Structure 1
Amino acid sequence: MKIRLSLLAVFCMMEFYAQELTLPVYTQYLGDSEFLISPTYAGIGEYIRVRANGVAQWVGIEDAPATQSLAGDVRLGMRSGVGITFFNDRNGYTRQYGGRLSYAHHLTLDAYENNFLSFGLSYNFNQFKIDISEFDPADPGINGDRLVNNHNFDVGVLYRYRRFYLSLNAANLLNKDTDQFTVTEPGVLRNYYVYAGYRFRKHKRSEFEVEPSVYFQIFEHDGRSSTDLNIKFRKYDFEDYYWAGISYRFLNDQVLDPLNIGPMAGVKISNFYAAYSYQVALNSIFGYNSGTHMITLGIDIFQGIGECKCTLNTGGW
């Protein structure tokens, strides 16, 4: 029991630190939810795309991290898009609630070659709170919930060429006021990430598609960085499709010692979308939980054909 509690304390401290910096990134972006990680995807598509996502981390451990989000985006005019995201993140005695408003503008570099460039900007708001409702009320140091409201911005650029895509992003551009807690709390929240991949097809009308991708993230404050290596296999049935894949995440100074690895699968039938992802942590906490489970549910509504190829996610994709 002492070992279990010690491991939990260490990992909760790690997750607390990550939670303080940014909304945790698992593999939700792989569930046709790229807009969750980058504003540059706002408005790409013929529908209002809505995705609800739920993550339960380290299932089997009490008060383990859990995250829920709801996101939607829509085309605005011929070459722009807007979107909104709401999220709730819980980790032990910490809570984080917030939202994100995003805008993207899409440019056509070469319509014949399906060559596009997009720029995105997000305004972020969150409330970070330490819940003391279960603490010992006799402790004189406990005098009310600790909370702070944060405002910040993200920017990004997305390049698409035929079936290749590359998204470069910078999150939490503004430094944080650290007077609310302690002097050891990080004030530099900036982190940078790259998401890139390619959709391989034998020919344009092929039913099968293979999509390898990579997600790289680095935090400015302490230089921590990690990489996701992903691969998805997709089968099309007219406008419907089914897919399955696997993701491998590691710290960049420990390439052969993965943080987690796991399968995932999804389906889109008509306007409805569903996906499931499972990850197992390959570290000291492995024996104390049944892994991380993620479910994505979505719907595409109010179809509107775009007049510019730069807002389509078909054809050259």
Structure 2
Amino acid sequence: MKKVHVVAILFLLFTAGIKAQQLPLYSQYMFNKFLLNPAVAGSDGYTSLNLTAREQWIGIDHSPRTHSLSYQTRILKKSFIIKSTSVKKKIYKPSTEGRVGIGGYVFDDRNGLVSRTGFQFTYAYHIWLDETQLSFGLAGTAFQFRINDEKLTFFDQSEPLLSGDLRKTIFVPDANFGVYLLNFRYYVGFSVAQLFQSYLKIGNAGLSDYRMLRHYYLSGGYTFPLQNDYYLEPSILIKTTEELLYQIDFNVKLQYKEDYWIGLSYRTAGAVVLLAGVRLDKFYFGYAFDYTLSSIMKHSLGSHEFMMAVKFGDSARRYPWLDRY
């Protein structure tokens, strides 16, 4: 095999992998919206730590795998104050010194020959509009892309795997921005990822640069209270890019108090997702199974995603109407 053929094949595999899925894919994002929107950081008043592990298309070699860890909190110098408008009525108001949220997020995503490690630092500012909270968030991010050439095997073992002109590791700085509107009944969010649309310098002059596309996320959901402490929450997530590659998720979740939940999602990219979870004190455990509606399921056992979260902070630190997961 000629060296130019090796380089060309590696380039095609690399670009195909990252174009199909430039950012990590999650199925339980509705339980940790911070993964998609930096404005969510600290919006519920809790300090939370979330761990997610996703194995996509189990049974297929080198299929996508994602592991992430996120942290977010609200900086509260003082607790909430109570204003009495009458003897029987009291109104909770947030302290003016508790409007800042911060967060961090790290992930490792492996997709075929390409592995990506990234981190994000987030600053969010929250404003009260009557009984609704408006939040803005800005995040600095960085990604390290690496071609895992050790996974390739050639018939001619004497042939160099990569030419000196092809970079194996690429570091890309970037930024995300988001807006988030939250009420005790509904939420609406909009965010943009990969604002800089950086170019990845791959290969030699004979190979084109590859641009990281700007991603747009529009989400929304509404909570309907049912009888006996049950809640029904339909939601939607619309994802698109600069090249107008779009995907829509339709979700519905049935929850009992904060203790148990089940859900169902349909992804227009061709997947049905089953969701389930339970809360044990301050710990939350969730599971998602993705059934892909394509021929790939003939060779795969589906995609599996596990989520664990722990939330710190007593009821004095959170908004009364945000007492939900």
TM-score, with length taken from structure 2: 0.81
Query: 1:148 aligned to 138, 161, 170, which one?
Result: 170
Q: Which residue in 1 is equivalent to 2:323?
A: 314
In the aligned structure 2, how far is the partner of 1:174 from the partner of 1:33?
A: 25
Cα pair distance change 1:148/1:11, threshold 3 Å: closer
List runs of 5+ in structure 2 lacking aligned partners.
1-11, 77-97
In the aligned structure 1, how far is the partner of 2:13 from the partner of 2:321?
A: 41
Cα drift, residue 11 of structure 1: 10
Q: Which residue in 2 is equivalent to 1:44?
A: 43
Cα pair distance change 1:297/1:161, threshold 3 Å: closer
Q: Deviations over 1:191-233 (max 9, x none)?
A: 1111100011147xx500000000100010x211000000000
Q: How does 1:133-282 map to 2 (within 5 A)?
A: 133-135=150-152, 136=154, 138-140=158-160, 142-143=162-163, 146-181=168-203, 183-202=207-226, 207-220=229-242, 222-236=243-257, 240-251=258-269, 259-282=270-293
Q: Which residue in 2 is equivalent to 1:119?
A: 136
Q: In the alignment, is the contact (CA less than 8 A) between 2:275 and 2:286 conserved in 1?
A: yes
Q: In the alignment, is the contact (CA less than 8 A) between 2:290 and 2:304 conserved in 1?
A: yes
Runs of 4+ in 1 over 2 A off after TM superposition: 10-16, 44-47, 134-141, 177-186, 301-307, 311-315
Cα pair distance change 1:304/1:150, threshold 3 Å: farther
Cα pair distance change 1:140/1:14, threshold 3 Å: closer
Cα pair distance change 1:154/1:121, threshold 3 Å: same
Q: In the alignment, is the contact (CA less than 8 A) between 1:68 and 1:88 conserved in 2?
A: yes
SS in 1 for 2:151: coil
Which letter maps to 1:62? D
Q: Deviations over 1:83-125 (max 9, x none)?
A: 1011000112211011111111110011xxx212110111111
Q: In the alignment, is the contact (CA less than 8 A) between 1:44 and 1:312 conserved in 2?
A: no
Q: In the alignment, is the contact (CA less than 8 A) between 2:199 and 2:212 conserved in 1?
A: no
Q: Deviations over 1:27-67 (max 9, x none)?
A: 1313x211111111111234310110000000011111100
Which letter maps to 1:314? D
Cα pair distance change 1:180/1:17, threshold 3 Å: same
In the aligned structure 1, how far is the partner of 2:255 from the partner of 2:211?
A: 42
Q: Deviations over 1:130-173 (max 9, x none)?
A: 01123345323514761100110000101123311100111100
Q: Which residue in 2 is equivalent to 1:285?
A: 296
Q: Which residue in 1 is equivalent to 2:145?
A: 128
In the aligned structure 1, how far is the partner of 2:245 from the partner of 2:134?
A: 29
Q: Which residue in 1 is equivalent to 2:94?
A: none
The percent identity for this pair of structures is: 29
Which letter maps to 1:242? Y
SS in 2 for 1:285: helix
Q: In the alignment, is the contact (CA less than 8 A) between 1:45 and 1:312 conserved in 2?
A: no
Q: Which residue in 2 is equivalent to 1:256?
A: none
SS in 1 for 2:298: helix
Q: Which residue in 1 is equivalent to 2:100?
A: 80
TM-score, with length taken from structure 1: 0.83
Q: Which has the larger radius of gyration?
A: 2
List runs of 5+ in structure 1 lacking aligned partners.
1-9, 252-258
Cα pair distance change 1:38/1:162, threshold 3 Å: same
RMSD, matched Cα: 2.4
Which letter maps to 2:127? L
Q: In the alignment, is the contact (CA less than 8 A) between 1:48 and 1:303 conserved in 2?
A: no
